[in-house]
């Protein structure tokens, strides 16, 4: 059975600009344990007092996963780790001549002696030891093999081969890994040249039994091997049961993205926004007949949902499906006109939102959209040493409501008071907020797209203005009006 050591909280946190609080680390560690990770590398105990606190919190949490910490071949590092109550140490020693001479200023014999002493001392402290060769892909393999073999004799429980700067190829991986498997071996890859996943899978196929991974592929430079990609490649391509609770992959991914403030690449496999999003008419038409036509795996498998977006590539089948989901029943003539107008919007380089589709459908089908919300006025107060505050007066179903709210910024304050003001007719949550600049310069037009949720019904809406607050308010109010329309409203027509 392959195992997973997740180093999101150590190597992943070394992503420039990322800094997690002890409480955030504990929440992520709990999610990692719940999803089925075997070992959690919780951090580096000697890094700071905050890091020690986080490691203690995780080690004392009673998680099913083994709690591990990174240590150098130094007794004080090992003491710090043991004092935090961890189960194991990831004991890293440089093994390439480049690292040995340039970084440490030592020779091979000195590093060998340091490694043997550290392994023996860590075992004396009652720790499980994973002896790891840093920059192993540039090391002399005979030297590395001897160090690993003797490390096991000194008490190391596991070994780890580190491709520290991502220079392995799958062919080289297949050649090297069998030569260093003197104990259960982990593979630790970096993605500098985009081969981390391929090298990790090759190593597992060549004798390694554990993959070092990070959620979303976080890590220094181009990151580490992405956890979600290894799991789904093993499951889907090799029919291997990883034991991971796959339906929790996307919630875990978004949790890590939120706390690290590292957004997911739009086209990232498995967890990116476009991984299960389709626009092309041919693709969408095929998906409606059989989802496997244009999807390698079901989005529900990883805790996601499929999404069909409309634009200039959309065909009548996907537009009709979207309209039906929004409650519209156009006849064939109306459908053709709606498709034509949607393509026109897409041709202008503008993303087509649900609110756009509904507005087009209303116009073509001669349906009246009676606004539930009518904005009378809104005011924003913000500035140096002033808490951003928004006040609004609006009519909601004919009832005039005035209120105010503060926020982290002027846009946040405005959106908060809008949500509070419509609570009398429905609980509407803002799920996503995205801003694009359409034109350049200080008077740039901004395009704000929002995703709103009311009782599980989700709608996207858009606002475009030169003022970001006005664009945001326009997008939210438009979306809210569409969400709050009567569910019994007749959106079909008998006319041809």
For the stretch 341-395, pLDDT in tens is 888 888 877 778 777 888 888 878 877 667 888 888 889 988 887 899 999 998 8
* Yes or no: domain 373-484 corresponds to CATH 3.30.160.270: yes
Residue 282's pLDDT is what?
Answer: 45
Flag residues of the chain having pLDDT under 50: 281-285, 488, 495-496
Phi/psi of residue 144, nearest 5 degrees: -65, -40
Residue 438's pLDDT is 55
Q: Beta-strand (E) ranges in 109-215?
A: 128-134, 158-163, 185-189, 210-213
- Three-state DSSP at 408 gives coil
CA distance 46 to 119: 18
What is the reported pLDDT for 346? 81
Q: Roughly what angle, to the nearest 10 degrees, separates helices 316-325 and 332-347? A: 100
Instruction: Say what the pTM is.
Output: 0.76
User: If 0-12 CB within 10 Å is exposed, 13-18 middle and 19+ buried, where does residue 223 land?
Assistant: buried
Count Cα neighbours of 41 within 13 Å in the Cβ-side half-sphere: 26
Topology at the third CATH level for domain 3-260 = TIM Barrel (3.20.20)
The pairing of beta strand 446-454 with beta strand 457-465 = antiparallel
Number of neighbours of residue 323 by Cβ within 10 angstroms: 24
The pLDDT assigned to 319 comes to 86
Q: Are 18 and 260 in contact (CB under 8 A)?
A: yes
> pLDDT, tens digit, for every residue of 237-291?
999 999 999 999 999 999 999 999 998 888 899 998 778 776 554 444 455 555 5
Q: What is the largest CA-CA distance in the chain?
A: 89
CA 154 to CA 121: how far, in whole Å? 10
Q: Domain residues of the chain, as ranges?
A: 3-260, 280-364, 373-484
């Amino acid at each position: 059975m392959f195992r997973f050591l997740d180093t999101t909280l150590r190597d992943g946190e070394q992503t420039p600009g990322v800094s997690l609080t002890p409480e955030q680390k504990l929440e992520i560690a709990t999610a990692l344990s719940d999803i089925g990770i075997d070992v959690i590398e919780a951090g580096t105990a000697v890094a700071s007092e905050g890091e020690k606190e986080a490691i203690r919190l995780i080690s004392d949490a009673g998680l099913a996963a083994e709690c591990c910490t990174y240590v150098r071949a130094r007794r004080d590092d090992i003491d710090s780790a043991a004092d935090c109550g961890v189960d194991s140490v990831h004991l890293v020693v440089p093994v390439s001549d480049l690292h040995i001479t340039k970084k440490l200023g030592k020779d091979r014999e000195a590093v060998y002696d340091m490694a043997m002493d550290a392994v023996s001392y860590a075992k004396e402290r009652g720790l499980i030891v994973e002896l790891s060769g840093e920059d192993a892909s540039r090391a002399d393999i005979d030297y590395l093999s001897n160090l690993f073999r003797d490390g096991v004799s000194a008490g190391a429980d596991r070994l780890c081969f580190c491709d520290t700067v991502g220079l392995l190829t799958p062919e080289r991986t297949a050649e090297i890994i069998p030569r260093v498997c003197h104990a259960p071996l982990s593979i630790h890859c970096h993605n500098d040249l985009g081969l981390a996943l391929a090298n990790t899978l090759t190593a597992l196929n060549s004798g390694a039994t554990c993959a070092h991974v990070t959620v979303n592929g976080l890590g220094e430079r181009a990151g580490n091997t992405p956890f979600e990609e290894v799991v789904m490649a093993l499951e889907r391509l090799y029919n291997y049961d990883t034991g991971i609770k796959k339906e929790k992959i996307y919630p875990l991914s978004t949790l890590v993205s939120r706390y690290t403030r590292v957004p997911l690449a739009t086209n990232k496999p498995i967890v990116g926004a476009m991984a299960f999003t389709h626009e092309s008419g041919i693709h969408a038409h095929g998906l409606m007949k059989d989802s496997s036509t244009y999807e390698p795996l079901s989005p529900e498998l990883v805790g996601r949902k499929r999404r069909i977006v409309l634009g200039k590539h959309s065909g009548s089948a996907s537009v009709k499906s979207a309209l039906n989901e929004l409650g519209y029943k156009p006849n064939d003539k109306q459908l053709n006109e709606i498709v034509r107008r949607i393509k026109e919007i897409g041709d202008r380089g503008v993303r087509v939102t649900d609110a756009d589709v509904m507005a087009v459908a209303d116009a073509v089908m001669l349906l009246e959209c009676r606004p539930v919300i009518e904005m009378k006025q809104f005011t924003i107060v913000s500035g140096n040493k002033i808490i951003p505050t928004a006040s609004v007066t609006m009519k909601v179903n004919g009832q005039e409501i005035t209120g105010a709210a503060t926020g982290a910024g002027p846009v946040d304050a405005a959106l908060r008071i809008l949500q509070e003001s419509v609570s009398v007719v429905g609980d509407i949550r803002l799920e996503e907020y995205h801003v694009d600049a359409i034109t350049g310069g200080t008077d740039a037009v901004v395009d704000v797209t929002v995703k709103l949720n009311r009782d599980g019904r989700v709608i996207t809406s858009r606002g475009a203005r030169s003022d970001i607050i006005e664009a945001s308010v326009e997008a939210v109010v438009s979306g809210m009006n569409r969400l709050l329309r009567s569910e019994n409203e007749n959106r079909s027509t008998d006319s041809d």
